[in-house]
Amino acid sequence: MSDLFDLKLEQELKKSAPLADRMRPTSLESYVGQEKLIGSGATLRTLIERDELPSMIFWGPPGTGKTTLARIIARLTRSRFEQVSAVSSGIADLRRVVDEAKEKRKLANTRTILFVDEIHRWNKSQQDALLPNVESGVITLIGATTENPSFEVNGALLSRCRVFVLEKLTAEDIKKLLERAVRSPDGLDGKVKVAADAIEFLAYIADGDARVALNSLEIAAKALKISKRQTLKIEAVKYALQKTHLRYDKTGEEHYNIISALHKSMRGSDADAALYWLGRMLEAGEDPLYVARRLVRFASEDVGLADSNALVVAMTAYNAAHAIGMPECNVILAHAAAYLAQAPKSNKLYTAYLAVQKDIAELPNEPVPLHLRNAPTKLMKELDYGKGYKYNPNFKEPIDQDYLPEKLKGKKYLKD
pLDDT tens per residue across span 361-402: 888 888 888 888 888 888 888 888 889 999 999 988 988 889
Three-class DSSP category at 159: coil
| pLDDT band at 148; cut points 50, 70, 90 | confident
Rounded to two decimals, the pTM is: 0.63
Estimate the share of the chain in helix, then strand, then coil, as percent rounded to the nearest 5: 55, 5, 35
Angle (CA) 171-175-179 rounded to 5° is 175
Classify burial at 395, counting beta carbons within 10 Å of its beta carbon; exposed 0-12, middle 13-18, buried 19 or more. Answer: exposed
- Is the pLDDT score of 3 beyond 60? no
Average pLDDT value for residue range 204-225:
84
Distance between CA atoms of residues 236 and 249, nearest Å? 29
DSSP class of 55:
P
Q: For residue 67, report the phi and psi dihedrals to the nearest 5 degrees.
A: -65, -45
The domains located in the chain, with CATH, are 34-165 (3.40.50.300), 171-241 (1.10.8.60), 253-342 (1.20.272.10), 355-408 (no CATH)
- Is the pLDDT score of 243 beyond 70? no
Q: How far apart are the first and last CA of the chain?
A: 89
Reported as a single tens digit per residue, the pLDDT across 57-107 is 999 888 899 999 999 999 998 999 999 888 888 888 888 988 888 888 888
Reported as a single tens digit per residue, the pLDDT across 9-32 is 455 555 668 888 898 999 999 999
Three-class DSSP category at 77: coil
